[in-house]
Chains A and B, each alone.
Chain A
Amino acid sequence: MDAATIVTASENNALIKKLRDVLVENGYKILGHAADGNDCIRKLRSLKPDIAVLDYDLPPQNGFEVAKIAVEDKLCGVVLLASYERKNIIDSLAKSYDCLVVGRPLGRESFVAAVDFMVKSRKRIIELEREIEDLKETLETRKEIEKAKGLLMKHLNISEGQAFRMIQKQSMDKGIKMSEIAKAINLAYTLKED
């Protein structure tokens, strides 16, 4: 398995050095580091890491604002580091965001565990999203084909099997997806009926 990739962001150099050492020791690949929020957004978009490790103190916005954009635009998974007092507030705000808030001062173990968890869940989310996309497309295709079949059966007075075969044959002959053929049939009959 390829090493998961990470971009870090903090203006605290000492903290970042420590974090990076820990991450590298645990087999992660550091793609880059940002010292401010805007630089961080730019790096997330251009380096496309799996995970961002963000410090809450990240001017000019703060780490949570950056995390929101990263999650909303599906740029990467986010582990946000914040003091314990702040963690409580963010946790309540971040309910609907899948970003993980880790309290500072942080233990080595719990930090690595958090990053590991985020990497795994990120992979899982991507898989699930892809599955949903596929299912949506299948459903859409099926709807179009069902409708086209119905129209062909009605207008050409043929059986369901024949109608399906007709669509399938057109699709194979022309090298066009069945859903596209079905869409064309549906459109043609709609125009005719108007």
Chain B
Amino acid sequence: MKTLSKEDVLRIAKEQDVKFIRLQFTDIFGMLKNVAITSEQLENALDNKCMFDGSSIQGFVRIEESDMYLRPDPNTFAIFPWRPQTDKVARLICDVYNPDGTPFEGDPRFVLKKALKKAADMGYDTFSVGPECEFFLFLTDSEGKPTLTTHDSAGYFDLAPVDLGENARREMCLALEEMGFEIEASHHEVAEGQHEIDFKYENALTAADNIMTFKMVVKIIAQRNGLYATFMPKPIFGINGSGMHTNVSLFKNGKNAFFSENGDLQLSDDAYWFIGGLIKNIRAIAAVTNPLVNSYKRLVPGYEAPVYIAWSAKNRSSLMRIPAARGSSTRIELRCPDPSCNPYLALAAILTAGLDGIKNRIQPPPATDKNIFKLSEEQRIDEGIDSLPGSLKEAIDELKRSEFMKNVLGEHIYRKYIEAKEKEWDNYRTKITGWEIDQYLSRY
């Protein structure tokens, strides 16, 4: 990871002739927000003197306590690689602070930092995260609105039809690399118009920053290609949705804590307990890793998305998979998160659940190496395999019951999040959908 000082940032901005700087932060629903400043104001901003009105951000604060401060993290300085001809634009990711100098508890980045602190206190110096983000590229219509038409009909790993999407994806990779990403893989996904770009694992804070940057870059480059990129979890019925499989591992004194030469499957107790903690808390975590009404239309059988709460070292259909790599690459792949989630909150919840497992030595159930989708309901109950929430409503109810999640998110976000998600559910519940019209209008 880069380490830049305030002086470095000022110097680079000057050398590269940067004219505008975007001070970015993320609201609790995972939306990237930014305050644009000119290069003349950069030094002021780096001295943490940049203020904004927090009440304008959904889920932040009430109008009477609205002054908030942005504290840019110099390590996140990056120049946008597009628009090379006009004035250059750079960005800095910021932490949000109260006027009294304390961190704002509604800042998702702070929530993740808190979780990382907890891990550090338990002796785990690094929580490594490697995300695999999927997204769809759609054509836009003459009004610039996204349609559900994909421009290609290639399948998984197809090489042949070099299409618009393919080119757009290549440009996305190039732009990301220019912003310091290490791209591990980039390919066409199973569904039409669906793509995946994987970037190198990083410590959780950088990984979450990267996910936010990634989503922004993908959307901008898509637009510059006359396409629309969406991270909506399930845009089209009948084909695979977009997930964000999340590979995680813990390190203690620079060593992978999930690896044990002599452990069962060469996994350490820490690894098993981490899985145990995740399994125990996953139903409440789902409201954060799968935050939309639409998220739960992805988590259905038949489309490679997980439905049942189980783990396996072999079976790719399970919620948690242990990829074959061992040694320092030993990791757990959690397959439920989707790219619409707030990565800071999602990673904080995943990490804390794992730590909870380690602290309380929670043994996971035995691995399920069968294809769970082929088991009957009785067999599943016999084996004690529970399922993920079936709807946002179910997930919110779990979240509301979870003291654990209240601790992870902090009182402020916990309350605001539930409030907003209940509203979202209620809004959805009372709407008359196209399906209902199709099914009922002419029949009754």
Interface residues of A (CB under 8 A from B): 11, 35-42, 45-46, 59-61, 68-69, 71-73, 96-97
Q: Does B86 contact A61, Cβ atoms closer than 8 Å? A: no
Closest A residue to B168 by CB, please name it. A45
> Which of B82, B85, B142, B164 sits near A42, CB closer than 8 Å?
B164
- What are 14 pairs between A and B in contact, CB < 8 Å? A37-B226, A39-B226, A41-B224, A42-B151, A42-B226, A46-B167, A59-B144, A60-B142, A68-B85, A72-B83, A72-B84, A72-B85, A96-B85, A97-B85
With A59-B142, A59-B143, A59-B144 as given contacts, are A42 and B227 in contact (CB-CB < 8 Å)? Answer: yes
**Complexed CA–CA distance, A37 and B83 (Å):** 18
Q: How distant is A7 from chain B, measured CB to nearest CB, in Å?
A: 12
Interface residues of B (CB under 8 A from A): 82-86, 139-144, 151, 163-164, 167, 171, 224-227
Chain A residues whose CB sits within 8 angstroms of the CB of B227 once the complex forms: 38, 42
Q: Does B85 contact A41, Cβ atoms closer than 8 Å? A: no
**Complexed CA–CA distance, A36 and B164 (Å):** 17
Closest B residue to A69 by CB, please name it. B224
> What does DSSP make chain A's interface, helix, strand, loop or mixed?
helix
> Which of A35, A38, A45, A96 sits near B140, CB closer than 8 Å?
A38
Chain B residues whose CB sits within 8 angstroms of the CB of A40 once the complex forms: 226
Q: Does A37 contact B85, Cβ atoms closer than 8 Å? A: no
Q: How distant is B225 from chain A, measured CB to nearest CB, in Å?
A: 6
Q: Does A46 contact B142, Cβ atoms closer than 8 Å? A: no
Q: Does A73 contact B224, Cβ atoms closer than 8 Å? A: yes
Chain A residues whose CB sits within 8 angstroms of the CB of B140 once the complex forms: 38, 60
Q: Does A39 contact B164, Cβ atoms closer than 8 Å? A: no
Chain B residues whose CB sits within 8 angstroms of the CB of A59 once the complex forms: 142-144
Closest A residue to B83 by CB, please name it. A72
Pairs of residues from A and B, 6 with the lowest C-beta to C-beta distance, nearest first: A60-B144, A41-B226, A36-B142, A42-B226, A38-B226, A38-B140
Closest A residue to B221 by CB, please name it. A73
**Complexed CA–CA distance, A45 and B223 (Å):** 13
With A69-B224, A73-B224 as given contacts, are A45 and B164 in contact (CB-CB < 8 Å)? Answer: yes
Closest A residue to B84 by CB, please name it. A72
Q: A37-B144, A45-B225 are in contact. List 19 more A-B contacts (CB 8 A).
A: A35-B142, A38-B139, A38-B141, A38-B142, A38-B144, A38-B226, A39-B142, A40-B226, A41-B226, A42-B139, A42-B227, A45-B226, A46-B163, A59-B142, A59-B144, A60-B142, A69-B224, A73-B224, A96-B85
**Complexed CA–CA distance, A30 and B270 (Å):** 65
Q: How distant is A57 from chain B, measured CB to nearest CB, in Å?
A: 13
Chain B residues whose CB sits within 8 angstroms of the CB of A71 once the complex forms: 85
Q: How distant is A150 from chain B, measured CB to nearest CB, in Å?
A: 28
Q: How distant is A142 from chain B, measured CB to nearest CB, in Å?
A: 25
With A41-B224, A41-B225, A96-B85 as given contacts, are A46 and B164 in contact (CB-CB < 8 Å)? Answer: yes
Chain B residues whose CB sits within 8 angstroms of the CB of A72 once the complex forms: 82-85
Q: How distant is B100 from chain A, measured CB to nearest CB, in Å?
A: 44
**Complexed CA–CA distance, A135 and B77 (Å):** 31
Chain A residues whose CB sits within 8 angstroms of the CB of B143 once the complex forms: 36, 59-60
**Complexed CA–CA distance, A65 and B429 (Å):** 40
Q: Does A45 contact B167, Cβ atoms closer than 8 Å? A: yes
Which residue, of A11, A37, A38, A72, has the highest number of chain B Cβ atoms within 10 A? A38
**Complexed CA–CA distance, A72 and B221 (Å):** 12
**Complexed CA–CA distance, A38 and B226 (Å):** 4
**Complexed CA–CA distance, A96 and B17 (Å):** 15
With A35-B142, A59-B143, A60-B143 as given contacts, are A42 and B225 in contact (CB-CB < 8 Å)? Answer: yes
Chain B residues whose CB sits within 8 angstroms of the CB of A39 once the complex forms: 142, 226
Q: Does A61 contact B224, Cβ atoms closer than 8 Å? A: no
Q: How distant is B163 from chain A, measured CB to nearest CB, in Å?
A: 8
**Complexed CA–CA distance, A13 and B299 (Å):** 47
Q: How distant is A38 from chain B, measured CB to nearest CB, in Å?
A: 4
**Complexed CA–CA distance, A41 and B227 (Å):** 9
**Complexed CA–CA distance, A71 and B227 (Å):** 18
**Complexed CA–CA distance, A60 and B226 (Å):** 11
Closest B residue to A66 by CB, please name it. B226
Closest B residue to A60 by CB, please name it. B144
Chain A residues whose CB sits within 8 angstroms of the CB of B226 once the complex forms: 37-42, 45
Chain A residues whose CB sits within 8 angstroms of the CB of B151 once the complex forms: 42
**Complexed CA–CA distance, A46 and B171 (Å):** 14
**Complexed CA–CA distance, A60 and B141 (Å):** 9
**Complexed CA–CA distance, A173 and B86 (Å):** 47
Q: How distant is B385 from chain A, measured CB to nearest CB, in Å?
A: 46
Chain A residues whose CB sits within 8 angstroms of the CB of B86 once the complex forms: 96
Chain A residues whose CB sits within 8 angstroms of the CB of B84 once the complex forms: 72
Chain A residues whose CB sits within 8 angstroms of the CB of B144 once the complex forms: 36-38, 59-61
**Complexed CA–CA distance, A124 and B325 (Å):** 52
Q: How distant is A15 from chain B, measured CB to nearest CB, in Å?
A: 17
Q: How distant is A61 from chain B, measured CB to nearest CB, in Å?
A: 7
Closest A residue to B163 by CB, please name it. A46
Chain B residues whose CB sits within 8 angstroms of the CB of A68 once the complex forms: 83, 85
Q: How distant is B161 from chain A, measured CB to nearest CB, in Å?
A: 11
Closest A residue to B146 by CB, please name it. A38
**Complexed CA–CA distance, A61 and B223 (Å):** 11
**Complexed CA–CA distance, A69 and B82 (Å):** 9
Q: How distant is A34 from chain B, measured CB to nearest CB, in Å?
A: 9
Chain B residues whose CB sits within 8 angstroms of the CB of A73 once the complex forms: 171, 224
